[in-house]
Amino acid sequence: MRPDTPGEQETVADLGEFGVIGRLTAGRAHPAATLLGPGDDAAVVSAADGRVVASTDVLVEGVHFRFDWSDPEHVGHKAVAVNLADVAAMGAVPTGVLVGIACPPTTRASVLDRITAGMWQEANRAKVGVVGGDMTSAPTVVISVTALGELRGRDPVTRSGARPGDVVAIAGRLGWSAAGLAVLKRGFRSPVNVVAAHRAPEPPYAAGPQAADAGATAMVDVSDGLLADLGHVATASGVSVDVRTDLVEVHQRLLDVASALGGDPRGWVLTGGEDHALAATFPGPQAVPDGWRVVGTVGRPAASGPAVTVDGAPYAGPAGWQHWR
């Protein structure tokens, strides 16, 4: 674990469970969606139309983040962002997050303060509060976040509604997190905005409900990589998806990183995970709302079944991130 503020030697064991929870929840302002915040057995959150959207993800030190590559603030930010992106990918508006943190008793209290500062920062960007949580001890730092959202009368946009003739479009960045990871793996800390994209992704939350309002037929959070996540849409919808490389932007910054360090910038864009862009299908180009970029089309499934192709052919590179493999 990285060094903390000098003089701040207090550990979570010194403070005790309730002391830590008190530090993490005290004095925070909550938006209107928080009907009852932290401090009781459970929180109460708005679910305006009688339905709640909920998603949970677990991040593990050494698997999803490293404290020598990311500050505690980034870790907290990312844990919240990846879950809120899942809620947005249903077409829902975020309403709150619940947080579980397990960490060694020797963890400095200031590290937890910084993790939760990052959580609150990203929660505030999504206009929600950290409404509840749990703290406990574990050999490694493990962070679980559950994000809640409300549909406000919209139908949820699932992965299974894509139809032949639809177009595929993207909101948010692709490839930046993979480029940032490549930089960190080589021991560098810059370009700063590429590294920041890996440490603390900023998913385009508002693009989720926007796509739902525009008639998106399917939507997914790009967490495993564009091709892998479009593969989930293809399978769930029983269609094939073709991505056209002439439509997929590879930002100059990624080209610069690739030329400095080596690496395949188009591969980062097509298969790099953790950017938490949104990918959606729309009934035609005219339905694609502002801020979304068309990158491909939906067709009938291949004879062998649903598939994702690039420029009409199978993609030769690695398919995307899977745990345990």
CB nearer a second copy, residue 11 or residue 245: 11
* CA–CA distance, 289 with 216 (Å, rounded to integer): 10
- Strand 293-299 with 277-282, pairing: unpaired
C-alpha distance across the termini of the chain, in Å: 26
* φ/ψ bin of 81: left (φ > 0), alpha (ψ from -120 to 50), beta (otherwise): alpha
73 is in an annotated binding site: no
* CA–CA distance, 199 with 64 (Å, rounded to integer): 10
4 is in an annotated binding site: no
What tokens appear for 221 in the block? 């959070």
CB nearer a second copy, residue 8 or residue 17: 17
Q: Using CB atoms within 10 A of its CB, is residue 285 exposed (0-12), middle (13-18) or buried (19+)? A: exposed
- Least separation in angstroms between CB 135 and a second copy: 7
CB nearer a second copy, residue 46 or residue 240: 46
166 is in an annotated binding site: no
CB nearer a second copy, residue 56 or residue 259: 56
154 is in an annotated binding site: no
Tokens 């960490």: give the residue. 103
- Least separation in angstroms between CB 308 and a second copy: 15
113 is in an annotated binding site: no
- Least separation in angstroms between CB 113 and a second copy: 16
- Least separation in angstroms between CB 283 and a second copy: 20
Annotated binding site for Mg(2+): 41, 55-57, 86, 134, 221, 224
